[in-house]
Amino acid sequence: MIVVKAKPLEEILGFLLPYENILVVGCDGCTQPPRGLREATLYSMLIEMGAKIKGKMNLKCKATSVAKQCDNHICSTTLGPQLEGVDAILSLACGVGVQTLTEVFPEIPVFPGQNTIFIGSQEREGGILYEKCKACGECLLGETGGVCPVTNCPKGILNGPCGGCVDGKCEVPFEVRDEMGKVVKTVTKDCAWYLIYQRLKKLNRLDLFRKYRPPRNRAISSSPRLSEVV
Amino acid sequence: MINPQVRESLKKHGILDDNSLQLYVPCIGRIPPEFLLKALKNGVKKIVIVPCESDKCRFNVGSNVGVFRLILLQRLLRQIGLDSDALFFYRYFIRAQINRHKCIGCGNCAYTCPGNAIKIVSPGIAQIDEESCLGCGACVSVCPALAINLEGFENDLILGAISRYRPLIEEIKVERKKPVIAVFYCQWANFPAPDKYFTYTEDNVIFFEVPCSSMINPLYVLKAFYEGFDGILIAACKKSECKFEKGNEIAEKHIKALKDILKQINLGGKLEICFVAPRYLGELDNQIKLFIEKLNNK
């Protein structure tokens, strides 16, 4: 699913203070953490309270949620009837949702409440989200035993570990950042190719490990991109 | 005060009416038979005991031991000619319920449930196994779609109750010039004496009871601030004393995340969580006093 991180309230209030009737729209789709009706209601109260503190007393905020903000038909049919009198929308969806709402309702400014950061999954126990897929367009998970070297190797190499793999660990420190982008700590992670080797050995498919892979065709993963529906 | 759902159910069955006195104990095992005999001697006509289901007793054997003792009392009463209606039992246990039309299949509830009672089934809806549900409400607080409710403690009920305090809050602030505090307490963390509803008697503190601190939805906290409360204190059970294993840890996580967000509109210091136990008399009262002092010093 698409991993998002909440934008600071200061930034969101900056977007919304020029307006008076705001609709916060959540998404029941795939954002991680989920940003459904509850988050939308939470934000609507936070924004009204935050606006009052800044002296804007007549700002009113309502909350709703859409099944999938990336679907323009769902947005126009279910959200359209709720936009009476609304002069700005705060979307809690990923970047796709914000853009879809803009396309479907071009007269109303739509602001993002989240920063979309990567495609990833949740490691439930510790509550940490990891990037798992870079949407590179040339999936080689079938040759690497299900471990992705494109997202897990900081150098993105394709033919086995580099010399910096020591005791199965990667020499490049993994930087963990806060929502302002500042590095808060670095951790040591496993070498992706070390994991791939172990996995393929377990599956008895070291022939796949030994296969030669030429450099990726970056044109496939460069933006802008589109895909014909198949 | 009895759980409104239980009260409705008892009323429907003609067991309870508006003349009924409601008493509240942490466990049926606590009721000495002498207490009930005294009540009957002093003119009480009918006593209803509402114990937990035997396999759901939070104190393991309290429910069974208590019921067993009281059944013996029941038999004795019959031998002296008292109606069998004079003392009887009505087992009840609150459960969580999922509104399948609202569920978005995110899986938070299934992961959080301490009883492993929830499964996410294709095509993406959560399902509760009623037999395993412990009635703690942790699932309620992690649901992003507000699709789960705990019987008797529905989201709308609690949010409605909070918003009804708005005129009283304004009166206290304007006329009595005191800060108004909301205390959301876990029913196991704070237990007043059976004849007193609350231990704290100041008029600017308003109490909301929940079956477990894990049920406290960030939405309730926000709603309370929105309606004008100056400070919110959560009272959860002490570490490793949660009757549902990790309810207090879940509550702590929620409160921590909420404080980070609230800090951004200067409300971070107005929300606190404390860990108390009823066996330390007056502990919650002290925490409330400290909290109010801290608020006044800001």
Domain spans in chain A, listed from the N-terminal domain onward: 2-117, 134-218
What is the assigned CATH class of domain B96-150?
Answer: alpha beta
Interface test with B, best of A17, A35, A37 (most B CBs within 10 A): A37
What are the φ and ψ backbone dihedral angles of A47, each rounded to 5 degrees? -70, -45
pLDDT at A178 (0 to 100)? 75
Token pair for B96: 């969580």
Inform me whether the pLDDT recorded for B221 exceeds 70.
yes
pLDDT at A44: 96
Cβ <8 Å between B145 and A33: no
pLDDT, greater one: B15 or B230: B230
What are the helix and strand counts (H, E) for chain B?
A: 10, 10
Q: Strand, helix or coil at B177?
A: coil
Chain B: give the shortest CA distance to residue A34, in Å: 6
Task: Give the fold, CATH level 3, of A2-117.
Answer: Rossmann fold (3.40.50)
Which residues touch B54 (CB under 8 Å, ≥6 apart)? Answer: B63, B64, B67
Residue B165 has pLDDT above 60, yes or no: yes
Interchain proximity A37–B144, CB inside 8 Å: yes
What is the four-CA torsion angle of A216, A220, A223, A227, rounded to 10 degrees?
-150
pLDDT digits (tens, 9 = 90+) for A67-105: 999 999 999 999 999 999 999 999 999 999 999 999 999
Q: Report the candidate in A101, A82, A106 with the shortest Cα–Cα distance to residue A91.
A: A101
Interatomic CA distance for residues B173 and B228, integer angstroms: 9
Rounded Cα–Cα distance for residues B235 and B189 (Å): 7
SS3 A30: coil
Residues of B in contact with A8 (CB under 8 A): 264
Chain A interface, best mutation among B112, B227, B263, B265, by max A CB count within 10 A: B265
Which residue in the set B219, B261, B265 is minimally distant from A41, CB to CB? B219
Q: Which residues of chain A have pLDDT under 50?
A: none
Residue type, B155: N
Query: Two tokens at B104?
Result: 């978005």
CA distances from A96 to A2, A82, A174, A175 (A): 10, 20, 28, 27
Q: Which of A26, A34, A49 sits opposite B108 (nearest CB)?
A: A34
Quick check: bond before B33 cis, omega within 30? no
How do residues B166-200 score in pLDDT, each as one tens digit?
988 888 888 878 889 999 998 888 876 555 545 55
Tokens of B83: 């109606």
Strand partners, A89: A23, A110
Separation CA B131–CA B137 (nearest Å): 15
Quickly count: other Cβ atoms within 10 Å of residue B276's Cβ.
21
Task: Tell me which residues of chain A, numbers 60 to 99, contact chain B at a CB-CB cutoff of 8 Å.
Answer: 65, 67
Phi, psi (degrees; rounded to nearest 5) at A197: -60, -50
Of the candidates A6, A10, A38, which has its C-beta nearest B144's C-beta? A38
pLDDT at B252 over 60: yes
Pairwise CB contact (< 8 Å): B145 & A28? yes
Is A37's Cβ below 8 Å from some Cβ in B?
A: yes
B103: phi then psi, degrees, rounded to nearest 5 = -65, 135
Query: Which residues of chain A neighbour B266 with C-beta distances below 8 Å?
Result: 53
Closest chain B CA to residue A67: B104
Q: In chain B, where are the structural domains located?
A: 4-89, 96-150, 155-296
Q: Is the ipTM of this complex over 0.85?
A: no
